[in-house]
Chains A and B, each alone.
Chain A
């Protein structure tokens, strides 16, 4: 049991577990964002609940941040180790003959997502933490109304920000197109359900990022 993270399979397993966690988080984040398209009030209520309920704030949020940091650091550590495993590169390497672009470039799609998360934190998370825990305003109110929907709409008025978000979600889709089924393979799940799971993974990898893009464009063009 000790030192499982020192073994190649242990690292794969840890990468997959953090990936599962992040994929579930992404689904709930998407579900809440989608509410903003249908009802500003419901979106406000759910956002206020997520932003103030102690289990979410003090248990799930730290776990999520740890999961994100772990996934990124481990990804970069593995990349460095893997580069060391081939000290001389091929003069000619036909990677597309045997594998997908997505599978060979997880580090680049991952780096693009990391850059997006930094932007996203600056946009939403840091102001939120500032308002709640530094200023100490836990009411979620602005001029007598919940501020969440208004903040969301305001952020998506800048076309540059919307463009950056759209590009980031394309990279997220590319990352998930390989990552979803890869995580199952890493935990040892490769059986009669794998074919169906791969199909489901592809649908997830396209529908969720596309949905996020739709939400960003919806608020950009509707307000």
Chain B
């Protein structure tokens, strides 16, 4: 198939970017979206132009690196996938595809389609862990009984790959689905409950400091999340935060 691509080009973090049109031809419907981008970049390199910078790593939907906003949706028009898992069969011959970086003040553009997502890392560092002494006398995790229900919910929350699609999709650029998932995966398990109050307070405080917006429960994040993280995680974070705040 032959396509027209409208891609955000921005030389560096300080430069003023703009949308630039490109044509690609003979794209196979079996290609992944990133493979199509590789074809474009080969074309650009061969003609002596600067290739389009974009994030990618595992290309199998695990690492959370790829981050394109395609035709107005994070990770494109398909559901439950990352951009690397989006296939060209989702498009038709002759289509014009608009490709932009994640847009959020807390995710500044570094170059072209690459954004700086270290804000997520700082939120994780604020409390997304448990403090365990691993000096050799650590208790076997399997010796602590955990209900199947809690284990499943914690595991579901833990599938968040931190790609930032929730922020990109949210009209308020809110990071609450990400933080809700990270708070939940620990709050549901006994190992995480010891530090639960401090964790939620610190992670929410860091989230606010980073300049993410306020959640207004539109649910766009849940729909666009490649891992299907549920809004229940945001509700749980709200409960955890309010309990931690009112209990002092």
CB of A84 within 8 A of CB of B211, answer yes
CB of A82 within 8 A of CB of B103, answer no
Which residues 1-30 in A have Cβ within 8 Å of B in the complex?
1, 4, 6-13
B248 to chain A: closest residue by CB: A1
Interface size for A (C-beta < 8 A) is 42
CB of B219 within 8 A of CB of A98, answer yes
Q: Which residues of B contact A (CB under 8 A)?
A: 6, 8, 19, 69, 71-73, 77, 98, 100, 103-106, 169, 171-174, 176, 204-205, 207-208, 211-220, 223-224, 231-232, 234-239, 241-242, 245-246, 248
Of A86-94, A126-134, A150-158, the stretch lying at the interface with chain B is: A86-94
Expressed in whole angstroms, the minimum distance between the Cβ of A199 and any Cβ of chain B is 16
The 3 closest A-B pairs by CB, nearest first: A94-B72, A85-B213, A190-B235
State whether A98 and B234 are in contact (beta carbons under 8 Å apart), knowing that A81-B213, A82-B214 are contacts in the complex.
no
CB of B176 within 8 A of CB of A98, answer no
CB of B172 within 8 A of CB of A82, answer yes
State whether A86 and B173 are in contact (beta carbons under 8 Å apart), knowing that A182-B217, A190-B231 are contacts in the complex.
yes
CB of A98 within 8 A of CB of B169, answer yes
CA distance A97 to B219 in the complex (A): 11
CB of A12 within 8 A of CB of B214, answer yes
A107 to chain B: closest residue by CB: B216
**Partner among A78, A88, A178, A185 whose Cβ is within 8 Å of the Cβ of B235:** A185
CB of B73 within 8 A of CB of A94, answer yes
With an 8 A cutoff between CB atoms, is A166 at the interface? no
CB of A103 within 8 A of CB of B213, answer no
With an 8 A cutoff between CB atoms, is A188 at the interface? yes
With an 8 A cutoff between CB atoms, is A104 at the interface? yes
Residues of chain A lying within 8 A (CB to CB) of residue B103: 86, 88-90
CA distance A88 to B108 in the complex (A): 10
**Partner among B71, B104, B105, B216 whose Cβ is within 8 Å of the Cβ of A182:** B216
CA distance A106 to B172 in the complex (A): 12
**Partner among B105, B204, B207, B246 whose Cβ is within 8 Å of the Cβ of A1:** B246
With an 8 A cutoff between CB atoms, is A187 at the interface? yes
CB of B100 within 8 A of CB of A90, answer yes
CB of A82 within 8 A of CB of B232, answer no
Residues of chain A lying within 8 A (CB to CB) of residue B223: 97-99
Residues of chain B lying within 8 A (CB to CB) of residue A11: 214
A to B CB contacts below 8 Å, 27 in the list: A1-B246, A4-B245, A7-B204, A8-B208, A8-B213, A8-B215, A9-B242, A10-B245, A78-B216, A81-B213, A82-B171, A82-B172, A86-B104, A86-B173, A86-B213, A91-B6, A92-B72, A97-B77, A99-B171, A99-B218, A99-B223, A104-B171, A181-B217, A185-B217, A185-B234, A190-B232, A190-B234
State whether A103 and B218 are in contact (beta carbons under 8 Å apart), knowing that A9-B241, A90-B72 are contacts in the complex.
yes
CB of B238 within 8 A of CB of A85, answer no
CA distance A191 to B171 in the complex (A): 25
Expressed in whole angstroms, the minimum distance between the Cβ of B37 and any Cβ of chain A is 17
Residues of chain B lying within 8 A (CB to CB) of residue A189: 235
Residues of chain B lying within 8 A (CB to CB) of residue A191: 232, 235
**Chain A positions 60 through 97: 1 when the CB is less than 8 Å from some CB of chain B, otherwise 0:** 00000000000000000010011011111111111101
CB of A103 within 8 A of CB of B216, answer yes
CB of B238 within 8 A of CB of A188, answer yes
With an 8 A cutoff between CB atoms, is A100 at the interface? yes
With an 8 A cutoff between CB atoms, is A52 at the interface? no
CA distance A181 to B235 in the complex (A): 12
CA distance A93 to B104 in the complex (A): 13
Residues of chain B lying within 8 A (CB to CB) of residue A188: 235-236, 238-239, 242
Residues of chain A lying within 8 A (CB to CB) of residue B106: 85
CB of B100 within 8 A of CB of A92, answer yes
Expressed in whole angstroms, the minimum distance between the Cβ of B213 and any Cβ of chain A is 3
Residues of chain A lying within 8 A (CB to CB) of residue B207: 8
